[in-house]
């Protein structure tokens, strides 16, 4: 039913056919504004009475979420993420390769894909119609160049259901509106931070393996905090009904067991809806997995709100997760009940 996917098909695969673009541009570096370094905080999560902990281990936790600082009063939506209103754009027609370290792309409209081939790149207040990728096809290295993207929109209203919007590691994604993709975030290398962002998934092919965030192959130190992932198709599911039925998988899919699995994840304060399972998680022994403060919209899944393949004992913390109802603005209208870790 799911999981049957390869590196090049069925998992929102990397679209390498677009990489040999005619425009390989070097942008000037900025002396005043550059992407911040990846977080290296290793402070362990606080324990509560409702936590599930592994006995006899002292795992190193992934970076702790920082205060949001987002533009959204509640859970993120299209009106408070993406390019701020009134932004003026500089046009780049076609694909753009960035080869200058610490380059700042501010107020750009890139009609193709953005391929990052230099460290420390910052993208802000920009519209990228295609994907944003720091995979280097010349060296076959995922997440080769650290970058940050914030207050930007990735994708258009045209559905590219077999492409991935942003990948693959050593990246920070803040206040970004992602639309028109089958996969939104690809965590294929360490240090993936996604905060205060709005993700609306689309599919137009039954063979698509659509996810809000997917670890493929594996990652480490994943932070997915205060995001909205709508995997329900054409309308907000205020009645619990999802229009998206073909080719979808899970809003949060951190499951991969290649090379021993993803090492450490904080999945906190998110609103998610849709999917075969809305939370499809498979923690592995090692760095802590924390799942707390998440809200799953009632009845929008096919088989269940969460699935862990019986690995509840591997979570450092599972607490304050619940099933809710929402209105058309992604505001919670009621709490149906707690979401306990499924045995």
pLDDT band at 9 (very low <50, low <70, confident <90, very high): very low
Give the CA distances from residue 337 to residues 130, 296, 298, 309, 325, in Å, rounded to whole numbers and listed in that order: 39, 10, 9, 22, 10
Distance of CA 321 to the CA centre of its chain: 19
The alpha-carbon radius of gyration of the chain (Å, integer) is: 19
Q: Phi first, then psi: give them for residue 214, nearest 5 degrees.
A: -135, 135
284 or 316, which is more confident: 316
pLDDT of residue 27: 53
Has residue 8 got a pLDDT over 70? Answer: no
pLDDT of residue 244: 72
pLDDT band at 45 (very low <50, low <70, confident <90, very high): very low
pLDDT of residue 259: 64
Residues 263, 49, 51: CA angle, nearest 5 degrees? 20
Exposed, middle or buried by CB within 10 Å (0-12, 13-18, 19+), for 340? Answer: middle
pLDDT tens profile 229-274? 999 977 889 888 887 767 789 999 998 766 678 899 999 999 999 9
Q: Which of 323, 290, 340 is nearest to 47 (CA)?
A: 290
- Residues 196 and 226: beta-carbon distance below 8 Å: yes
DSSP assignment letter at 190: S
- Residues 183 and 137: beta-carbon distance below 8 Å: no
Has residue 106 got a pLDDT over 90? Answer: yes
Dihedral of the alpha carbons of 130, 131, 133, 139, in degrees to the nearest 10 = -70
Distance of CA 279 to the CA centre of its chain: 13
Has residue 327 got a pLDDT over 80? Answer: yes
In this prediction, residues 27-40 reach a mean pLDDT of 37
pLDDT of residue 221: 94
In this prediction, residues 55-78 reach a mean pLDDT of 60
pLDDT of residue 231: 93
pLDDT of residue 71: 87
pLDDT of residue 118: 96
70 or 79, which is more confident: 79
Give the CA distances from residue 93 to residues 87, 97, 104, in Å, rounded to whole numbers and listed in that order: 18, 12, 18
Q: What is the largest CA-CA distance in the chain?
A: 57
pLDDT of residue 70: 74
Element (H, E) at 266: strand 263-268
Q: Which of 133, 139, 138, 131 is nearest to 170 (CA)?
A: 133
Q: Phi first, then psi: give them for residue 259, nearest 5 degrees.
A: 55, 30
Q: Phi first, then psi: give them for residue 78, nearest 5 degrees.
A: -65, -25
What is the pTM (predicted TM-score) of this model? 0.83
CA 12 – CA 214 distance, rounded (Å): 9
**Best-predicted range by mean pLDDT among 127-131, 137-141, 217-221, 300-304?**
127-131
């Amino acid at each position: 039913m799911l999981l049957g996917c390869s590196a090049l098909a069925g998992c929102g695969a990397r679209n390498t056919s677009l990489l040999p673009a005619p425009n390989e541009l070097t942008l000037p570096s900025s002396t005043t504004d550059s992407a911040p370094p990846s977080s290296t905080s290793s402070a362990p999560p606080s324990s509560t009475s409702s936590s599930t902990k592994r006995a006899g281990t002292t795992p190193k936790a992934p970076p702790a979420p920082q205060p949001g600082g987002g533009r959204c009063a509640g859970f993120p939506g299209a009106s408070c993420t993406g390019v701020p209103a009134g932004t003026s754009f500089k046009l780049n027609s076609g694909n753009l390769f960035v080869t200058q370290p610490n380059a700042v792309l501010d107020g750009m409209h890139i009609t193709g894909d953005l391929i990052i081939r230099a460290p420390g790149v910052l993208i802000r207040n920009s519209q990228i119609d295609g994907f944003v990728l720091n995979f280097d096809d010349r060296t076959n290295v995922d997440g080769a160049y650290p970058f940050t993207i914030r207050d930007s929109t990735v994708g258009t209203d045209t559905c590219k259901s077999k492409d991935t919007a942003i990948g693959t590691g050593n990246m920070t994604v803040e206040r970004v509106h992602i639309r028109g993709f089958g996969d939104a975030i690809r965590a294929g290398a360490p240090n993936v931070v996604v905060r205060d962002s709005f993700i609306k998934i689309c599919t137009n092919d039954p063979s698509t393996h659509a996810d809000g965030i997917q670890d493929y192959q594996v990652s480490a130190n994943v932070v997915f905090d205060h995001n909205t992932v709508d995997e329900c198709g054409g309308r907000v599911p205020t009645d619990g009904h999802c229009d998206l039925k073909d080719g979808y998988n899970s809003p949060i899919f951190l499951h991969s067991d290649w090379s021993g699995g993803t090492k450490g994840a904080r999945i906190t304060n998110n609103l998610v809806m849709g999917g075969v399972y809305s939370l499809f998680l498979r923690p592995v022994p090692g760095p802590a997995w924390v799942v707390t403060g998440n809200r799953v919209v009632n009845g929008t899944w096919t088989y269940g709100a969460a699935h862990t393949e019986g690995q509840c004992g591997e979570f450092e913390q599972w607490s304050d997760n619940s099933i809710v109802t929402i209105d058309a603005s992604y505001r919670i209208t009621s709490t149906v009940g707690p979401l306990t870790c499924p045995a």
